Structure 1
Amino acid sequence: MTLGPDDTGPIRIGETAEWTATVVGAHRLREDLAVVRLIGEFVPFAPGQSVEVRTPQHPNMVRRLYPALPPSLDGKLEFHIRTVPGGWCSGSLVSDTRTGDEWRISAPAGWLAVDEAATEVVMLADSVGLAPMRALLLDLSRRETPPRTHLFVGGRYPRDLYADDMLHLMANELPWLTVLPVVLDEDNPDWTDHWYEACRVDIGFEPEELLPGTLAEIVTRFAPLDHQHIVVCGNAAAVHSAVERLVATGTAPEAIRYEGF
């Protein structure tokens, strides 16, 4: 591993550039979810791409995460991290990340993007698949004429919609954006999530706004989506189900960009 001549350039491991960023906030929103914000070197990724991350808790383990902000010249980064059942690395990132931790970022990759020519966009975000969608939405807001965009955001329970306050504010500020919350169960489970209770706010989705069902079921109510540009991200099973249903109801496969994790 070598540094640039002034010890400020990107670290390189072989031919792979690696950038450093420092955690400035680790906000636990749910028992199984945290939002981590960092500031560091500029990372040249495209909105919607994922990056590889190394953390001090697991320096020899690489985790691929989606930035929730577009590339920032002042080095701001944000990641939404959810515990994977049985995944001790993701669980540690959610529970053990601390302010001052130094992360190493590398290998931007992925093809989630919105075509420049798109005039209408449909986004499907399952769980923390919302992160790249937020980066794409913020990037779209910079366009002179952003495309009309419908964002379907899904979770099992209402409290799984962890960013409902942020989405509520974005929809109010961006006249071209419509957010549709989708839940499999309309009532939260009877066990208490103390993190959810601690960060509850007064703005967000009202119960009557929630659409019951899966993302695949709900989005195909609007079929055929035969002229929209489609972007899908989230749990692999949910993503594949949605893509299969979209294609089966008339969406051209080449109009869909999707990634599952």
Structure 2
Amino acid sequence: MPQPSWTATVVEHHRLRKDLAVVRLIGDAVPFRAGQYVDVSVPQHPRLRRRLSPALPPSLDGKLEFHVHAVPGGWVSGSIVADTQPGDRWQIFDPRGGDLHVDETGPTVVMVAGGTGLAPLRAILLDLIRVEDPPKVYLFIGGRTVADLYASDMLWLLTQDLPWLTTIPVVEDVTDPGIPDQWYDRIRDELGEIGFGEDHLIEGTLADVVAAHGAFVDHQVLLCGSPAMVQTTRDRLVATGTPADAIRFDPS
């Protein structure tokens, strides 16, 4: 029996960094839940599939958004970032995963996002907007430098609009400008300094900073990012008193 699939067409491709792009598509309504991931096939490499997490909750009009980081040596992710064009038709397969979810009537939520691990957590945040009285959410986002906080402008605006959302940006070195990146410089020149200022930043690793705010004894804790970040943060949280069964995670 053939595997179910859905078709979507690229309508926007925004390159935010040398190695990162946001891709928006419209097509079939894919039956996933916010926080899940899907496999995608792109025309540049139709025989290969790449696991991606939608950054929007499901919509009946078939809107999809993906945040894609070009992994070194990754043929598909590199092509998506560098070569995607409006009009490209993608195949979407097999929504999976379910660990990243929020009990809408449950206790306060702590989200921890490293890099494009933000995507499924953003989908959950946007899904919570439809809830009449959502739980309070603390979102920790992290990067090595300020330039790694690729969605800081979007999160700044979202945080201003949602009284139940608090965003805590974390960088390992607040003085390091990062490797020169023409895409980052272009966006900064066009939009100016929209986002979190230096007085909002906390210096340190995500694991250290999040653990320092714990223990999260009566919270829902969601982790998403690189496998190393997720494992280190989970270990630190458990060591400082957060119950292991309160932590839901998904290495991106």
Provide TM-score, normalisation by structure 1: 0.93
User: Counterpart in 2 of 1:54?
Assistant: 41
User: Counterpart in 1 of 2:160?
Assistant: 172
Q: Is residue 54–residue 123 contact of structure 2 (8 Å, CA) maintained in 1?
A: yes
User: Counterpart in 1 of 2:3?
Assistant: 16
Q: Distance in 1 between matches of 2:138 and 2:115?
A: 17
Which of 206, 228, 233 is equivalent to 1:215? 206
User: Counterpart in 1 of 2:231?
Assistant: 240
Which of 60, 71, 78 is equivalent to 1:73? 60
Q: Is residue 16–residue 183 contact of structure 2 (8 Å, CA) maintained in 1?
A: yes
Which of 209, 221, 229 is equivalent to 1:230? 221
What secondary structure, in the 3-state scheme, does the structure 1 residue paired with 2:150 have?
coil
Aligned AA (1:208): D
Gaps of 5+ in 1: 1-13
1:190 CA displacement: 5.8
Aligned AA (2:228): A
What secondary structure, in the 3-state scheme, does the structure 2 residue paired with 1:34 have?
strand
Q: Distance in 1 between matches of 2:89 and 2:32?
A: 19
Figure out how many residues of one structure are paired with residues of the other and give that number: 248
Which of 103, 108, 114 is equivalent to 2:102? 114
Q: Distance in 1 between matches of 2:175 and 2:116?
A: 20
What secondary structure, in the 3-state scheme, does the structure 2 residue paired with 1:51 have?
strand
Aligned AA (2:215): P
Q: Distance in 1 between matches of 2:176 and 2:13?
A: 25
Which of 12, 28, 35 is equivalent to 2:15? 28
1:83 aligns with 2:70: yes
Q: Distance in 2 between matches of 1:95 and 1:188?
A: 26
Aligned AA (1:197): D
Which of 131, 138, 146 is equivalent to 1:158? 146
Q: Is residue 159–residue 188 contact of structure 1 (8 Å, CA) maintained in 2?
A: no
Which of 139, 148, 155 is equivalent to 2:136? 148
Q: Is residue 34–residue 127 contact of structure 2 (8 Å, CA) maintained in 1?
A: yes
Q: Is residue 113–residue 223 contact of structure 2 (8 Å, CA) maintained in 1?
A: yes
What secondary structure, in the 3-state scheme, does the structure 1 residue paired with 2:137 have?
strand
Q: Deviations over 1:8-67 (max 9, x none)?
A: xxxxxx342100000000000001100000000000000000000000001000100000
1:123 aligns with 2:133: no
Q: Distance in 2 between matches of 1:193 and 1:44?
A: 37
Q: Is residue 169–residue 202 contact of structure 2 (8 Å, CA) maintained in 1?
A: yes
Give identity over the alignment, percent: 55
User: Counterpart in 1 of 2:29?
Assistant: 42
Q: Distance in 2 between matches of 1:70 and 1:44?
A: 10
User: Counterpart in 1 of 2:196?
Assistant: 205
Which of 128, 134, 138 is equivalent to 2:122? 134
What secondary structure, in the 3-state scheme, does the structure 1 residue paired with 2:48 have?
strand
User: Counterpart in 2 of 1:183?
Assistant: 171
Q: Is residue 33–residue 82 contact of structure 1 (8 Å, CA) maintained in 2?
A: yes
Q: Deviations over 1:170-213 (max 9, x none)?
A: 00000000000011121344642100011112310101211111
Q: Is residue 71–residue 77 contact of structure 2 (8 Å, CA) maintained in 1?
A: yes
Aligned AA (2:12): G
Aligned AA (1:222): H
Aligned AA (2:119): A
